[in-house]
């Protein structure tokens, strides 16, 4: 009985499942996918591994969890203003040897933490054992900033891609489904949008508004939804004339149902196969905007902002080389994913004679 069930399942594998299986066979893309997903999930609990707050402090027979709650320095009778410095505290407890201890994250520096008090020379510092990728001009740890910047970059790119595709798909669907005057009017508007020098306009807007994360997402979304409309429009035109749509029309399906539950699921190929490359583009745009100084406001940890600092003085090579390396590795992983997705969704088998 069970075996039969299994057989049945195999017979009726959906096309999506087939493509997923095909995707899994393309090792380079599949492993990149796993790595990026893993790192992105980790980046949400990053303070556990990289951060200034101690995980656990044992002080006078009481346990504290500074990672969840704020503790002033005076709570541990530390003689500095503001929040406790757990690295100094750890040293102090060790010297005292009085049964108190501090459990620090693996890499005990925060992304926005000014380390001026704990370093000797003037910032920025080149890589050392203490700060493996050096510090930036405001004496913040580069490695911590890069690590936190990963979450910012990916989250930014994911949300811009999602909303841009949402708008693009809706408009493309309207064009392709209704055709005629709707198509013509929208097409004229789209042509204006497509000819706008996008980066230039985004820079103009964000130079005037000084955006935060959500505002910058909004600005980027408003100017980057155009690309996908052409493909969706084409897909809708093609699908609309097929028999299953005629059948649905004959059965009295309303337009809403025709668009969303009949045609759209069959037009997903361009959406899925363009998404990784859109994400790559959006990450690169964010880095470019940050580099020009029109991106996320300080002190958001961002890759482009580090590069901007590095370009002010040619000697600060680590402020340019490391962010670019991280950007390169991230983008190449996503390009691998995109390549594999495209191959799984849009297989083109070329037969060549010789």
Partner 1 sequence: MTSYFIRRFLLIIPTFIGITLITFLILQVVPGGPLEMELMKLRGGGQGGEVNSSIGNSGNINIPESALKEMKEFYGFDKPILIRYFDWLSNLVRFNFGKSYTYAEPVWDIIVSRFNVSIYFGLISFILTYLICVPLGVLKAVKNGSKFDFFSSFMVFLGYSTPGWAFGALMLILFGGGSFWNVFPLSGFRSEDFDSMNFFQQIFDQLHHTILPVIAYVIGNFATLTILTKNSVIENLSQDYVKTAFAKGLSEKRVIFYHALRNSLIPIVTGIGGFLGLIMAGSMLIEKVFNIQGMGLLAFNSIINRDYPVTMGILVITSFLMLIGNIFSDMIYAWADPRIRFK
Number of H helices, E strands in the chain: 14, 3
DSSP states of 172-225: HHHHHHH-HHHHHHHHHHHHHHHHS-HHHHHHHHHHHH---HHHHHHHHHHHH-
Distance CA 258, CA 243 (A): 13
Pick the closer one to partner 1 by CB: 249 or 324: 324
Answer whether 164's CB lies under 8 Å from 278's CB.
yes
* Beta bridge pairs of residue 135: 141
Pick the closer one to partner 1 by CB: 40 or 193: 193
**Least spacing, CB of residue 174 vs partner 1, in Å:** 19
26 Cβ neighbours under 8 A, 6+ residues apart? 339, 340, 343, 344
Tokens linked to 115: 């380390």
Pick the closer one to partner 1 by CB: 48 or 189: 189
First-to-final CA distance of the chain: 50
Nearest to 108 by CA among 83, 128, 88: 88
**Least spacing, CB of residue 214 vs partner 1, in Å:** 17
**Least spacing, CB of residue 332 vs partner 1, in Å:** 4
E-strand ranges in 8-53 read: none
Nearest to 53 by CA among 97, 116, 102, 119: 102
Pick the closer one to partner 1 by CB: 69 or 351: 351
**Least spacing, CB of residue 328 vs partner 1, in Å:** 5
**Least spacing, CB of residue 353 vs partner 1, in Å:** 5
**Least spacing, CB of residue 351 vs partner 1, in Å:** 5
Pick the closer one to partner 1 by CB: 34 or 210: 210
Binding site for partner 1 (CB under 8 A): 188-189, 191-192, 195-197, 199-201, 203-205, 207-210, 280, 284, 287-288, 291-292, 307, 310-311, 313-317, 320-321, 324, 327-328, 331-332, 334-336, 348, 350-354
Answer whether 206's CB lies under 8 Å from 289's CB.
yes
Pick the closer one to partner 1 by CB: 244 or 317: 317
Pick the closer one to partner 1 by CB: 200 or 260: 200
Pick the closer one to partner 1 by CB: 164 or 286: 286
Inter-CA distances, 193 with 72, 86, 222, 294, 305, Å: 52, 52, 9, 21, 28
**Least spacing, CB of residue 39 vs partner 1, in Å:** 16
Pick the closer one to partner 1 by CB: 99 or 197: 197
Which of the 8 DSSP states describes residue 66? T
**Least spacing, CB of residue 212 vs partner 1, in Å:** 15
**Least spacing, CB of residue 126 vs partner 1, in Å:** 8
Tokens linked to 157: 């790119």
Answer whether 234's CB lies under 8 Å from 314's CB.
no
């Amino acid at each position: 009985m069970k075996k039969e069930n299994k057989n049945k399942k195999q017979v009726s594998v959906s096309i999506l499942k087939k493509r997923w299986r095909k995707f899994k066979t393309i090792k380079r893309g599949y492993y990149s996918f796993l790595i990026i997903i893993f790192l992105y999930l980790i980046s949400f609990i990053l303070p556990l591994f990289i951060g200034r707050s101690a995980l656990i402090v044992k002080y006078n027979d009481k346990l504290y969890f500074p990672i969840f709650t704020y503790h002033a320095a005076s709570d541990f009778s530390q003689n500095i203003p503001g929040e406790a410095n757990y690295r100094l505290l750890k040293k102090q407890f060790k010297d005292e040897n009085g049964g108190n201890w501090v459990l620090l994250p693996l890499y005990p520096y925060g992304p926005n933490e000014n380390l001026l008090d704990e370093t000797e020379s003037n910032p920025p510092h080149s890589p050392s054992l203490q700060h493996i990728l050096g510090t930036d001009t405001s004496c913040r740890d580069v490695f911590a900033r890069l690590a936190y910047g990963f979450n910012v970059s990916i989250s930014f790119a994911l949300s811009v891609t999602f909303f841009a595709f949402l708008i693009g798909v809706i408009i493309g669907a309207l064009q392709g489904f209704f055709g005629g005057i709707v198509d013509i009017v929208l097409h004229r508007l789209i042509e204006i949008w497509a000819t706008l020098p996008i980066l230039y306009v985004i820079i103009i807007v964000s130079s005037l508004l000084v955006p935060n994360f959500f505002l910058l997402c909004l600005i980027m979304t408003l100017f980057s939804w155009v690309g996908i409309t052409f493909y969706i429009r084409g897909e809708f035109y093609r699908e609309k004339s097929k028999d299953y749509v005629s059948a649905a029309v004959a059965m009295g399906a309303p337009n809403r149902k025709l668009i969303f539950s009949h045609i759209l699921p069959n037009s997903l190929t361009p959406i899925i196969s363009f998404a990784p490359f859109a994400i790559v583009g959006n990450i690169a745009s964010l880095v470019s905007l940050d580099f020009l100084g029109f991106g996320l406001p300080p002190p958001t940890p961002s890759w482009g902002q580090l590069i901007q600092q590095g370009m002010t003085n040619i000697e600060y090579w680590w402020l340019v080389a490391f962010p670019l390396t991280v950007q390169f590795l991230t983008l190449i992983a996503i390009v691998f994913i995109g390549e594999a997705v495209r191959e799984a969704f849009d297989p083109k088998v070329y037969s060549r004679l010789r």
